[in-house]
A and B are shown apart, each in its own frame.
Chain A
């Protein structure tokens, strides 16, 4: 006879999703139209960019599928060369803007996510070490974080990009750009995580469970990872969500300045940079649609992050 069928135990434990739905945060989500809208838009964008290959009429960066005669087709009209319908128009080389935007958003989101993970790992590790070990190491880490925070992220990223350019052989520049961008944006944003984690680690390490873990003979590293980290992770997630929007915008800015993704593998920023050349000649769709896509992505992630911050903030409950 199994335990589950015993009387008195009839109520099955709810699944994780159901419990999340019933929690305070779940309630706050259900009652906030802005949060729901932002979450839906974000999820739709992520799905659309992930499966871009299946829902776009062409692969915009495969030169064989482009027809130069389609160049500058206005939105909603059929191209003069291929007869294909371009819902958002075509650029100077007959590239479908709708396809280009989905592929570009994918590059933007990938770099944004990768750089957030990079700065998260770096910042949380340094913050844990600084808070838990203290002493000279803490002073050094926090001083570096102070200096980094006093410089705008975009400046740090530009600098890292320039230095990486100088260190990497020119023939590798194109294929390395993705990694260089990730590291550049990641290195410009880690300090905030380090500060937050250090502050909460200082509080946590005086608690009894940490003493207990130490008493049973665990070394510093396992205590930090297994015991302290789960208790300091909450605020970090909120920062990470808001930083994702910032990272996407930072990437777009760098690419717009011409120190980011090359036109052969464009992000939204690169598309906007290219589109700006047609601002005066009347082909507004080459510029407007990528810009709108960037704003929608940044805004929906931002609104979602704002909601998450308020929902997890006990003082506002």
Chain B
């Protein structure tokens, strides 16, 4: 088990190093960092001095190690466009994205598992079939269209919920939250639904398929033969085994939720990391792009590791 976890940790480190290499190459080879920082009226001497000061004359491996060391301390340089430290920009926008991602993952997990179990138990029921057809439509609809549809229904027609921004937020140190104000909570609803919808359909279909598979296994048949009530078999025996692959998928998804938030944040003008990244791509703001990439890689590697860890906790067979 420990060997399993160490292997997973090493894999994560490898991913971060590989992404770090990409991020560093972007810094080094896309655009000209000296030209971006020195301004138009600089002399050749100024530029040479800046090149030396930035360490751009050193060999590639040394520059890479220096980049990694700085990145580990949260130093990603200065945004070309906004002329502020990238780390500050990220820290400012992190709470909005985390709040959105965690809430939508929770929403998708709770509703998705519930609907999946329901659809598996009442396999031939009318409601279950309707839910399955709806989920197929959900997979085919791109996220941004779902967002626009929700805005149209709840913001334009019904006027119940705001269509953009975070509403009023409260500040605790460097963290900001919209959960404690009414406008903040209202502003969260539509983005959370939009971001959670795709995962919800995915989790639901997965839970249903796994549950149907498990209900056919021998141990369920024997449990029935022993006269254990059907509900108890479904929830205590079958669901527990169903959860193993589901937890893996959900864990792996959470990393990509951060990235899918890019689209949701743009639709709802949500002041999070994804919207920052899209802006950075539009204006070729390399330091912000590189930092976001490193951030996603880090979140992804962490989620991967945690998933493996939880996996061991849920499945006692792996403890041996």
- Name A's B-contacting residues (CB within 8 A): 143, 147, 150-152, 154-155, 158-159, 161-163, 165-167, 245, 249, 252-253, 256-259, 272, 276, 279-280, 287, 291, 294-295, 298-299, 302
Contact = CB atoms under 8 A, between A and B. Distances in A.
B37 interface: no
B280 interface: yes
A150 B256 CA distance: 8
Contacts of B266: 256-258
Interface string B270-311: 000000011011101010010001001000100010000000
Q: Which of B148, B263, B280, B289 has the most chain A CB atoms closer than 10 A to its own CB?
A: B148
Nearest to A162: B281
B145 A294 contact: yes
Given A151-B259, A167-B30, A257-B266, A276 B142 contact: no
Q: Which of A155, A249, A257 has the most chain B CB atoms closer than 10 A to its own CB?
A: A257
Interface in B195-244: none
Contacts of A150: 15, 255, 300, 304
A112 to B, nearest CB: 13
A268 to B, nearest CB: 10
Contacts of A245: 140
A287 B148 contact: yes
Given A150-B15, A155-B259, A253-B263, A258 B148 contact: no
B300 A151 contact: yes
A147 B23 CA distance: 14
30 contacts: A147-B15, A147-B19, A150-B300, A150-B304, A151-B256, A151-B259, A152-B256, A152-B259, A154-B259, A158-B278, A159-B281, A162-B281, A162-B289, A165-B281, A166-B26, A166-B30, A166-B284, A166-B286, A249-B142, A253-B143, A253-B263, A256-B144, A257-B278, A258-B282, A259-B282, A272-B145, A291-B148, A295-B141, A295-B145, A302-B140
A242 B141 CA distance: 14
B31 interface: yes
Q: Which of B14, B142, B284 has the most chain A CB atoms closer than 10 A to its own CB?
A: B142
B280 A279 contact: no
Given A279-B148, A295-B145, A298-B142, A257 B15 contact: no
A154 to B, nearest CB: 7
Contact of A294 (B142, B277, B282): B142
Contact of A155 (B26, B31, B262): B262
Q: Can you list the 10 inter-chain pairs with the closest CB atoms, starting with the nearest? A: A166-B30, A162-B281, A155-B259, A152-B259, A152-B256, A166-B284, A166-B31, A299-B140, A249-B142, A165-B284
A38 B259 CA distance: 31
A147 B15 CA distance: 6
A163 B142 contact: no
B151 A279 contact: yes
A259 B281 CA distance: 7
Contacts of A161: 281
Nearest to B252: A150
Given A257-B263, A294-B142, 12 more contacts: A150-B15, A152-B259, A155-B259, A159-B281, A159-B289, A252-B142, A256-B263, A257-B262, A257-B278, A272-B145, A287-B148, A302-B139
Nearest to A281: B156
Interface of A, helix, strand, loop or mixed by DSSP: helix
A147 B284 contact: no
Contact of A154 (B139, B260, B300): B260
Contacts of A163: 26, 30
Contacts of B293: 159
Contacts of A299: 137, 140
Contacts of B26: 163, 166
Contact of B144 (A147, A155, A166, A253): A253
B142 to A, nearest CB: 5
B151 to A, nearest CB: 7
A284 to B, nearest CB: 8
A4 to B, nearest CB: 50
Nearest to B25: A163
A162 B278 CA distance: 9
B210 to A, nearest CB: 18
A302 B280 CA distance: 32
A276 B148 contact: yes
Contact of A253 (B18, B142, B152, B286): B142
B144 A151 contact: no
B125 to A, nearest CB: 22
Contacts of B277: 158
A32 to B, nearest CB: 15
Contacts of A295: 140-141, 145
Contacts of B15: 147, 150
A147 B11 CA distance: 10
Contacts of A298: 140, 142
Contacts of A152: 256, 259-260
Contacts of A162: 280-281, 284, 286, 289
A276 B156 CA distance: 12
Nearest to B29: A167
Contacts of A252: 142, 144
B28 to A, nearest CB: 12
Contacts of B284: 162, 165-166
